[in-house]
């Protein structure tokens, strides 16, 4: 049995959920989000709780059970507080700045990297070495942060590059004479 799927999703004050067919729509202070579940699960709203149950005992139904519960929980979090990923830039001369809808990154290349910020995500730079990605969609926030990090992943010898805040970089020892 799915340990994640068994837990019902609590709806905080100010958040409402409605189910029509296999579509769950959650409304909150930050907007409205929806999720289309597969036919392998049944979704029901009881007061301020959303419950997900599998329709069968097949492997696919059990997989969709936990995944659907996680998606509904992400919708609730997205419309209440939103999601946030913080990135840190380490390296001499490495910096970031936001100009309009474009994130400008100086990462040691011969040119400046211009990253176009997609709709639905807010990118800010509180310092030249910090990037904050915020939004109400967990998948989109994580993907944008991963795309930014992809430009210069942290390397193991000096630790230079873009890393997630709190990420541990395994350091290697350099050459010895």
Confidence at 5, pLDDT banded by 50, 70, 90 = confident
Q: What is the pLDDT of residue 1?
A: 65
Q: Does the pLDDT at position 30 exceed 80? A: yes
Beta strands in 2-148 (DSSP E): 9-10, 16-20, 23-28, 31-36, 41-46, 49-54, 83-90, 95-99, 102-106, 113-116, 121-124, 130-135
Distances (CA, A) of 154 to 13, 26, 64, 90, 147: 41, 38, 35, 8, 14
Q: For each of the domains in the chain, give its residue range(s) and CATH number, in order of start.
A: 3-80 (3.90.930.12), 83-164 (3.90.930.12)
Phi and psi at residue 124, in whole multiples of 5°? -130, 155
Q: Does the pLDDT at position 176 exceed 90? A: no
pLDDT in tens, 47-102: 899 999 999 889 999 889 999 999 999 999 999 999 999 999 999 999 999 999 99
pLDDT in tens, 9-27: 999 999 999 999 899 999 9
Q: What is the pLDDT of residue 47?
A: 86
Beta partners for 28? 31
Confidence at 177, pLDDT banded by 50, 70, 90 = confident
pTM (2 d.p.): 0.86
Confidence at 142, pLDDT banded by 50, 70, 90 = very high
Q: Kindly provide the b/e burial profile for residues 73-110, where b requires at least 16 CB atoms within 10 angstroms of the residue's own CB.
A: bbbbbbbbebbebebbbbbeebebebeeeebebbbeee
Phi and psi at residue 155, in whole multiples of 5°? -95, 155
Average pLDDT over residues 147-160: 93
Q: 111: buried, middle or exposed (CB in 10 Å: 19+, 13-18, 0-12)?
A: exposed
Going 148 to 151 to 155 to 160, the CA torsion angle's sign is negative
């Amino acid at each position: 049995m799915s340990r994640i799927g068994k837990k019902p999703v609590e709806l905080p004050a100010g958040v409402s959920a409605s189910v029509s067919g296999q579509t769950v729509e959650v409304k909150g202070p930050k907007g409205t989000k929806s999720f289309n579940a597969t036919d392998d699960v049944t979704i029901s709203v009881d007061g301020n709780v959303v419950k997900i149950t599998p329709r069968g005992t097949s492997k696919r139904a059990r997989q969709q059970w936990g995944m659907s519960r996680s998606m509904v929980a992400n919708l609730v979090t997205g419309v209440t507080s939103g999601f946030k990923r913080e990135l840190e830039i380490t390296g001499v001369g490495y910096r970031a700045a936001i100009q309009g809808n474009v994130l400008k990154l100086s990462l040691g290349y011969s040119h400046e990297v211009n990253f176009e910020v997609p709709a639905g995500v807010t990118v800010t730079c509180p310092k030249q070495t910090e990037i904050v990605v915020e939004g109400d969609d967990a998948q989109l926030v994580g993907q944008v942060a991963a795309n930014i990090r992809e430009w210069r992943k942290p390397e193991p010898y000096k630790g230079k590059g873009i890393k997630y805040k709190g990420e541990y970089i395994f350091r290697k020892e350099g050459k010895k004479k």
